[in-house]
Chain A
Amino acid sequence: MSYIHIRGLEFSYVNELEEPPVVNKVLKGIDLDIEKGEFVAVLGHNGSGKSTLAKCINAINLPEKGEVVVDGLDTIQEDNLLPIRKRVGMVFQNPDNQIVATIVEEDVAFALENLGVEPSEIRRRVDEALQTVGMYEYRMHAPHKLSGGQKQRVAIAGILAMKPDCIVLDEPTAMLDPKGRNEVLKTIKMLNKEQGVTIVLITHYMEEAAQADRVVVIEGGEKIMDNVPKKVFSQVDIMRNLGLDVPQVTEIVDFLKKQGYDISNEIITEDECVEALAKLLQGRTEQ
């Protein structure tokens, strides 16, 4: 069984204030497998159910039908709640709403204090987590004086201190400026590559998704695509119909291809694009 094993997952939000209660089915039978050490990006436009899916992974939302199993632990069993949340950490969109304490290092220690870890061990792991995200010098600062990107890195450190196997990030860069977005993305990639942390990144920035090992596209509560970024983004028309963008470079090569130029459409990074265009231009000068 894969590390995160999702089968036939269904979930609805019920508004009980209305009479009769309004049931809004958000997830309509999702199958998804995520292996340890993978970097998976989840795409989908607003209301597609991608955040709901994320909350199902660490037992915040419990499946209405189907099953979600993390590292062999079924989320439906209450005893598994803490072990699962220890394994799967979650980072949210708004950094302000996930920082609990008034000092950076106290906040990073929060999860470990909850888990009843020894004080000396907490100290060690807090320092380690802060060093990993490059926020060690700011450990005595008040969170509200940090920039958005720095706050988000503190939030990541708070999760990292738990030493989770997997981190689920729900649009962690949506509220950040380009600089902050870059800082956070770099941190995420480093965690994945160097520390082997499984990453599930929910985003609507295609450039971010392009850096993942795998892209999953969710639409109307169903999984539409699940493939490597190149294969997903090369289907420019399908993506457009779903109301999603593709990386800018993919758009350029798609345009050129439609104009009849001989260029691969499996291009998602700027470097690849430059190379392909150079080749194309060189071919023309030689003719």
Chain B
Amino acid sequence: MIKDITIGQYFPGKSAVHRLDARVKILLTIAFIVMLFIADDIAGLGVGVAFTFLTFIISRIPLKMMWKSVRPILIIIIITALLNLFFVHTGEPYFEWKFIKITDKGVETAVFMVVRIVCLIIGTSLLTYTTSPIDLTDAIERLLSPLKKIKVPVHELAMMMTIALRFIPTLIEETDKITAAQKARGADLETGSIFKKAKALIPILIPLFVSSFRHAEELALAMECRCYHGGEGRTKMKQLKLKLLDLWGTLYLCLFFAGVIVLNILG
């Protein structure tokens, strides 16, 4: 059951988007976010939308995943739209009744914000759809490595992330086992009010908590046995190398970015 959930929503594949270096992908995603925010008219935003859709199609991720990534924040999007609709009072009013006033500017801002947020979410989830968690942590470690100079424990953070990812399936399996064991002893997890259900989780969470400490202790020992002594003097088997593809990817984004800037100036 819960064993089947995917972590980090990674969709393995071989498309150009998948094959981009994870570091480049992270940087391009940041550039993409900047692009969405500097676009200040409909045409500029249109370029952003075009980029989002085109990249999604290139990645060959099922298009329904677009909807799936937006769904969890639908409420936030709706609230943002309504706030803009009712509280932007500049421009020509379409409709006025007592204190409610809807103007053309309000409608425009609302649509603008919705499109911007939706693109933002779809674009950034494409990063996690096309990059495996391990590549992602690796890339984050390398991108943040300059921060080591100011004593940020970059290696330790990346190690923690890797171990957390590694243990998610193990702990899920264990949760399944503990749940089954507690049910066998008559634990009632399904009925009652929400408070009762929350309380029923305690006999599952406590053994899980205890066992994760045991996992941690043994893992630390095993790591020590394999000569782990922090990030100092460590090498990596997989060297990330920039390929020609990464250059093309960067140029591809630059093209759209330039488009947005040009439209901004013209507009």
Name A residues whose Cβ lies closer than 8 Å to a Cβ of B: 58, 60, 82, 85-86, 89-90, 92, 94, 96-103, 105-106, 109-119, 122-123, 126, 142-144, 155, 158-159, 162
The answer to whether A97 and B237 have CB atoms under 8 Å apart is no
Using A110-B226, A119-B239 as known contacts, list a sample of 19 further A-B pairs with CB atoms less than 8 Å apart, ordered by residue number in A: A60-B225, A85-B226, A85-B227, A86-B227, A92-B221, A98-B218, A100-B219, A100-B226, A101-B134, A102-B133, A106-B238, A111-B227, A112-B235, A113-B237, A116-B234, A118-B235, A119-B236, A119-B237, A122-B235
- Residue of chain A at shortest CB distance from B216: A97
The answer to whether B134 and A58 have CB atoms under 8 Å apart is no
- Residue of chain B at shortest CB distance from A92: B222
With contacts A60-B221, A102-B133 taken as known, whether A114 is within 8 angstroms of B234 at the C-beta atoms is yes
Residues in A with CB closer than 8 Å to B218 are: 92, 94, 97-98
Docked Cα-Cα span, A153 to B192, in Å, equals 46
Docked Cα-Cα span, A85 to B233, in Å, equals 16
Cβ contacts A to B, 6 pairs, < 8 Å: A92-B222, A94-B218, A96-B170, A100-B166, A106-B134, A110-B223
Main SS of chain B's interface residues? helix
With contacts A94-B218, A102-B134 taken as known, whether A109 is within 8 angstroms of B237 at the C-beta atoms is yes
Docked Cα-Cα span, A267 to B227, in Å, equals 41
| Minimum C-beta distance from B145 to chain A (A) | 15
Residues in A with CB closer than 8 Å to B227 are: 82, 85-86, 111, 114-115, 162
With contacts A109-B237, A144-B170 taken as known, whether A89 is within 8 angstroms of B226 at the C-beta atoms is yes
6 closest pairs, A vs B, by CB?
A: A98-B222, A97-B218, A111-B226, A109-B237, A144-B169, A90-B225
Interface residues on B, range: 20 to 34
Across the interface, A117 reaches (CB within 8 A) one of B134, B229, B235, namely B235
Across the interface, A126 reaches (CB within 8 A) one of B223, B228, B237, namely B237
Docked Cα-Cα span, A117 to B223, in Å, equals 17
Docked Cα-Cα span, A82 to B228, in Å, equals 9
In this complex, the member of B166, B170, B228, B239 whose beta carbon has the largest number of chain A beta carbons within 10 angstroms is: B166
Residues in A with CB closer than 8 Å to B234 are: 113-114, 116
- Residue of chain B at shortest CB distance from A117: B235
Docked Cα-Cα span, A98 to B170, in Å, equals 12
| Minimum C-beta distance from A106 to chain B (A) | 7
| Minimum C-beta distance from B68 to chain A (A) | 23
Residues in A with CB closer than 8 Å to B226 are: 85, 89, 100, 110-111, 114, 158-159, 162
| Minimum C-beta distance from B3 to chain A (A) | 9
Docked Cα-Cα span, A36 to B74, in Å, equals 66
Across the interface, B237 reaches (CB within 8 A) one of A85, A122, A158, namely A122
- Residue of chain A at shortest CB distance from B239: A119
Residues in A with CB closer than 8 Å to B163 are: 100
